[in-house]
């Protein structure tokens, strides 16, 4: 992948040239077969196996004492995730260790 030396936009190939993808810029430069050969592409790469661990008893998450609103169990897996703007606190998510009901707890 090449980026424009003038504006930083991604460039595309047109024949023997790299042409800036930003039509207002208009920058182009000749292609270099030797440097292109060193570029990494996704073509020809081996596919990796996706392993589903959703049914694993231990989801790799820590557990805590928390009341499940669905089955009244008192233990849940938990994790935190930023789902709002960066200046607000993270949201805590819980997954019941018994029924796998998922709920969240927000700071207000």
Would you say 4 is a known binding-site residue? yes
In whole angstroms, what is the distance from residue 68 CA to residue 76 CA?
Answer: 7
Give backbone dihedrals phi and psi of 23, rounded to 5 degrees, phi first. -60, -25
Would you say 20 is a known binding-site residue? yes
Would you say 68 is a known binding-site residue? yes
Which DSSP symbol is given to 74?
Answer: S
Would you say 73 is a known binding-site residue? no
Would you say 99 is a known binding-site residue? yes
Would you say 96 is a known binding-site residue? yes
3-class DSSP assignment, residue 86 = coil
| CA nearest to 23, candidates 39, 9, 41, 2 | 9
Annotated binding residues for Zn(2+), written as ranges, equal 4, 7, 20, 25, 68, 71, 96, 99
Annotated binding residues, written as ranges, equal 4, 7, 20, 25, 68, 71, 96, 99
């Amino acid at each position: 992948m090449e980026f424009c030396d003038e504006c930083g936009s991604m460039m595309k190939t047109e024949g023997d040239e790299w042409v800036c993808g930003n039509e207002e810029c208009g920058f182009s430069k000749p292609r270099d077969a030797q440097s292109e050969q060193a570029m990494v592409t996704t073509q020809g790469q081996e596919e990796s196996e996706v392993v589903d661990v959703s049914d694993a008893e231990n989801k790799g998450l820590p557990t805590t004492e928390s009341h499940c609103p669905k089955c009244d169990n008192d233990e849940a897996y938990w994790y935190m995730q930023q789902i709002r703007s960066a200046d607000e606190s993270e949201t805590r998510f819980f997954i019941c260790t018994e029924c796998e009901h998922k709920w969240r707890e927000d700071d207000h």
